[in-house]
Structure 1
Amino acid sequence: MSLCHKLEGIMNKFWWTNNKTLRGIHWSSWDSLCKPKCVGGVGFKNLFLFNKAILAKQVWRIFSQPRCLLAKTFKACYFPFTDILSARVGSYPSFTWRSICNARELIADGLVWRIGTGESINIWNDAWLPGREQNRVSAQHIMPNWTTVNQLIELETSTWKRELVYNLFDDDTVARILSIPISDGGGEDLRVWKHDGSGVYTVRSGYRVLNSAHLQVPTLTSPNEGVYISFYKALWSLDIPGKIKIHIGGCLIICCPILVI
């Protein structure tokens, strides 16, 4: 972390100074510069979070490709009887293993079940509802007679048992469940990365999740915020030299902080 901060300090100094011998005035915080361009930042990388997103790529590789040499090696050394997400760090971990373990939380929090047969998915404990938020069923009373998702599916027609679903869940949950498509052939239940449409983890999507949580970038709630977003998108898409767009964006950060969400 200290190394990342030193590198960011060098980048920050280069951004704000025009003379090697002077410190210059830092008109805005580094976090503001690291915000996405569409919300008033410059899009610089937070190096610590970016490194964590890269490490999470290795976690995803071990998780999704258990037969690759990397996964077999780590499994034999550190988690022979469990999986990468449940493995313990251990007493004397290598630097590589400890670093990978620090990125597991990102992958674990971003996984959601993609329904095949539904036999492997617990209705009440697993994350299987679509969307990026609240993927688990929020039920005050768990029905012990219904435990796995396949009990909610009509196998002969590959459709949801609508009457049963309406009886077990609230209207919002019902709508989310009924929006899940069910393939005729069933297939295997898979855990996928919910922050990308392909279901596959990418460093870009992982960094976006980490950076949004770190900067607490809010969700748009008013028309005015939508105008600001449209303005910044239009600015960075102008067909003019990049240095001019960067100059304009920097001036807005300094002079018009109200535009920075």
Structure 2
Amino acid sequence: MLRNWNTKYLSQVGKEILLKAIVQAIPTYSMGLFKLPKLLLQTLNKVMSRYWWGKQAQENKIHWVSWHQMRRAMKIGGLGFKDFDNFNTVLLAKQGWGLIQNPYSLLAQVVRAKYFLATNFLKAKLGSSPSYIWQSILSTRPLLEDGLLWRIGNGEAISIWTDKWLPQHTTFKPQSSIRFLQVDTKVSNLIDSDTYQWNESLVNVIFSREETKIIKAIPISHCNRPNKRIWRCIVKGNFIVKSAYHLCKELQDRDKCQSTF
């Protein structure tokens, strides 16, 4: 398609609008359902890069900036183009987010009945004879696991030492050494069951001064509400494709975003 669009009639701004508003939007529906082959996604990235730099048949153009730089956000010196590989991952991760947040939706009930009847999406296994859609959604679980954070309700079922529940930008888990409590102790043991407040004397003894301050600032539900998973990259806790895309790029540098498929 791009081969038929003559670059000499478009300015750089025109080509940018064409690539971002049309070319990057065309495969969105398919990428929201299937994990497309990596070679295909890389080829699409190359096609966009070549068109941007004005390459035509039998003609080579110098690429003054690498694709890695082109896909970076404009505010940090990039051109803001979406990387198809990362975008595919994020759109599929949104489906996984839906399975977590809306467990009683028709899709979630069908998938749960077939693949993880006795557990949840984050602990589900691939299963026997899995559909390609299920394989695609499950492949993005590393991204979701990194971006999810527990919002404290009653504190039950949240492990103090192994689950992510501290709103601090490190591991989101306590780094203080384990004292007095067992490794599998739940957050509910840190909450006074009568006042629905943090047991400050216990918290002060177990955690460092910095972590104690963070924990005491976490609000606790007075209605014994269940805990809830939220998206840590957004203040309101909702999964947003844009924020997930930026997180995916960060994790890609650490080889965590793109799982083996």
Same fold by TM-score greater than 0.5: yes
Alignment of 1:150-229 (within 5 A): 150-215=188-253
In the TM superposition, residue 60 of structure 1 has moved relative to its aligned partner by: 0.6
Bigger drift between 96-105 and 156-165 goes to: 156-165
Alignment of 1:68-87 (within 5 A): 68-87=105-124
Bigger drift between 137-146 and 197-206 goes to: 137-146
Flag the structure with more relative contact order, 1 or 2, with Cα contacts below 8 A and sequence separation at least 6.
Answer: 1
In the TM superposition, residue 21 of structure 1 has moved relative to its aligned partner by: 4.5
In the TM superposition, residue 136 of structure 1 has moved relative to its aligned partner by: 1.1
Task: Report if the CA contact (8 A) 2:178-2:206 is conserved.
Answer: no
Bigger drift between 191-200 and 134-143 goes to: 134-143
**Amino acid corresponding to residue 89 of structure 2 in structure 1:** K
- Within 1, Cα distance between the matches of 2:75 and 2:231? 24
Match of 2:167 among 124, 127, 130: 130
Task: Report if the CA contact (8 A) 2:154-2:188 is conserved.
Answer: yes
SS of residue matched to 2:118: coil
- Tell me what 2:64 maps to: 27
Q: Deviations over 1:169-208 (max 9, x none)?
A: 1112112111212243342211211111121212111111
- Within 1, Cα distance between the matches of 2:236 and 2:58? 49
SS of residue matched to 2:123: coil
SS of residue matched to 2:180: coil
In the TM superposition, residue 139 of structure 1 has moved relative to its aligned partner by: 3.3
RMSD (CA atoms): 1.9
**Amino acid corresponding to residue 247 of structure 2 in structure 1:** V
Q: Deviations over 1:152-184 (max 9, x none)?
A: 223444332222211111112112111212243
Q: Deviations over 1:74-111 (max 9, x none)?
A: 11221222111111113422211111111111112221
Structure 1, unaligned stretches of length 5 or more? 217-261
- Within 2, Cα distance between the matches of 1:31 and 1:211? 10
In the TM superposition, residue 58 of structure 1 has moved relative to its aligned partner by: 0.5
- Within 2, Cα distance between the matches of 1:130 and 1:104? 21
- Whether 2:97 is the aligned partner of 1:60: answer yes
SS of residue matched to 2:165: coil
SS of residue matched to 1:204: helix
Task: Report if the CA contact (8 A) 2:179-2:206 is conserved.
Answer: no
SS of residue matched to 1:85: helix
**Amino acid corresponding to residue 192 of structure 1 in structure 2:** I
- Within 2, Cα distance between the matches of 1:39 and 1:197? 22
**Identical-pair percentage:** 36
SS of residue matched to 1:96: helix
- Tell me what 1:248 maps to: none
**Amino acid corresponding to residue 223 of structure 2 in structure 1:** G
In the TM superposition, residue 20 of structure 1 has moved relative to its aligned partner by: 5.1
**Amino acid corresponding to residue 200 of structure 1 in structure 2:** N
Q: Deviations over 1:42-67 (max 9, x none)?
A: 11111100000000000011111111
Structure 2, unaligned stretches of length 5 or more? 1-37, 255-261
SS of residue matched to 1:136: coil
- Within 2, Cα distance between the matches of 1:127 and 1:143? 20
Aligned residue pairs, count? 216
